[in-house]
Chain A
């Protein structure tokens, strides 16, 4: 059975929980090469999402994602607000009217989300940003789709790809965002944005682990 509307609500709630748990860790990563606010900002945003979610709870998946996007946009601030706001808004556009998602739908939604993030932040692969976690994740989904993998297996592969992408940001010198001001000193630290992106995708693979 594909991913149901209620499953997406569970995923968003699990994301809020995961972000809360990892808030200090994300902020710690950000303190090393940025401005020490990523965890707190994401946590504030997802808490606002939890308050807003009941309004969209009986609507289609597109409306749910768009509600998440608009809420993050108006509560997160910093670079994370427009980027994660755009991420969910674009995923929402792709899933307008849908009450369930098969693997192709989810892959398309995530690809649209990635394209939106690239358009908004103008980051290229290797710039040490969230894009470095998202690109391998989307590619892994496409491969899994081609290989007719079940949804849970595909999600697991995409989360693992995001994790590798996230870890691969450690040696990189940042070329976008506040970390880029540090030049060479940004190398040796994991990118906080790539880390939060991986967190959302890992949460998806855990929340939807029984969906095949």
Chain B
């Protein structure tokens, strides 16, 4: 293992210390339990928007705490859901009296920990709504799985809900925005290489030089199929077609096209990917009116991409364009 770390068990704490030094204007970092809140929290009369998950996906979620996006993020250990006490303390720290929205990615651990945290918060008279994001079309949604994973749409939900909360919309209205994203967003990802969890010290799965893994999640978990490596255009088609056919996208629909690096894929390849994805969307009559390109939801140093399509209405476009000031996304402010 070749990594810029000191000790595997200190990686998350030292990362948080770095964030605290780097962005004191944006966030406050709390330790034991670990969570990141925006520097002016709690904002009175505003719905608090919280997300959380394992570390190793940076900039998600801590990099999206700030004005116009998340009020708090709870980082767990690498690829491990955070614990209920972290989420409860974060919930209390950003409670401005208008209720709290938990944006939860659909993973067994995240669901259970967030459920327990929401129960504890309600026990302390804090109103909590939870919306579970499950947008990964690579997973068959059936009674026989844990359901689709939450991937790319999560960050889009964080942006839109953060903007809605900033406008002082009610908890129900902010949660409705989240449910809209959940319903109108679809994603799929692939990997060229595996990744190495610091405390494990070796790659999570072996992926030979001439092979790729299609339908991966964001935790270095293997995907559904492995096959010989293909060209970028062929790979993008393999990701875009299941996404487009899953949602009843209609010709003329306005969409946001999000091309995400899993961590190790450089921007030059993301634009090659974006090019083909944009062409496929256009061929289906979709109007790509907004986009997001970059390493946003990563799996450590994994090389690979995920693509997310989110159908947008007028309100969602306005919320997307609204000012945001976080370490990971910043515009209009």
Q: Which residues of A contact B (CB under 8 A)?
A: 27, 31, 34-37, 40-41, 44, 73-83, 120-121, 173, 175-178, 180-183, 185
A180 to B197, CA, bound (A): 21
Contact B112 A120 (CB under 8 A): yes
Contact B83 A183 (CB under 8 A): no
Min CB distance A208 to B, Å, is 30
- Helix, strand, loop or mixed for chain A's interface? helix
Contact B76 A35 (CB under 8 A): no
Other 18 A-B pairs with CB < 8 A, given A35-B79, A178-B219, A183-B145: A34-B221, A37-B80, A37-B200, A40-B77, A41-B77, A73-B116, A76-B83, A77-B82, A78-B76, A78-B80, A82-B84, A175-B144, A178-B107, A178-B221, A181-B221, A181-B224, A183-B140, A185-B222
Contact A74 B204 (CB under 8 A): no
What are 13 A-to-B residue pairs whose CB atoms are below 8 Å?
Answer: A31-B205, A35-B219, A40-B199, A41-B77, A44-B9, A73-B83, A74-B85, A77-B82, A79-B109, A81-B112, A82-B113, A183-B145, A183-B224
Q: Which residues of B contact A (CB under 8 A)?
A: 9, 33, 54, 76-86, 107-109, 112-113, 116, 138-140, 143-146, 149, 197, 199-200, 204-205, 217, 219-222, 224
A80 to B108, CA, bound (A): 10
Partner of B145 from A34, A40, A181 at Cβ < 8 Å: A181
Residue in A35, A75, A173 whose Cβ sees the most chain B Cβ within 10 Å: A35
Knowing A35-B79, A37-B79, A176-B108, say if A182 contacts B146 (CB, 8 Å): no
Contact B197 A36 (CB under 8 A): yes
Contact B78 A37 (CB under 8 A): yes
Chain A residues whose C-beta falls within 8 Å of the C-beta of B219 in the assembled complex: 35, 178
A180 to B84, CA, bound (A): 24
Knowing A73-B116, A82-B116, say if A36 contacts B140 (CB, 8 Å): no
Contact B200 A27 (CB under 8 A): yes
Contact B83 A40 (CB under 8 A): no
Chain A residues whose C-beta falls within 8 Å of the C-beta of B33 in the assembled complex: 74
A78 to B76, CA, bound (A): 8
Contact A81 B224 (CB under 8 A): no
User: Smallest CB-CB separation from A81: which chain B residue?
Assistant: B83
Residue in A76, A81, A177, A181 whose Cβ sees the most chain B Cβ within 10 Å: A181
Contact B109 A40 (CB under 8 A): no
Knowing A78-B109, A81-B81, A183-B224, say if A178 contacts B76 (CB, 8 Å): no
Residue in A37, A79, A82, A176 whose Cβ sees the most chain B Cβ within 10 Å: A37
Chain A residues whose C-beta falls within 8 Å of the C-beta of B221 in the assembled complex: 34-35, 178, 181-182
Partner of A36 from B139, B149, B200 at Cβ < 8 Å: B200
Chain B residues whose C-beta falls within 8 Å of the C-beta of A36 in the assembled complex: 79, 197, 200, 204, 220
Contact B144 A77 (CB under 8 A): no
Knowing A31-B200, A77-B77, A177-B108, say if A182 contacts B222 (CB, 8 Å): yes
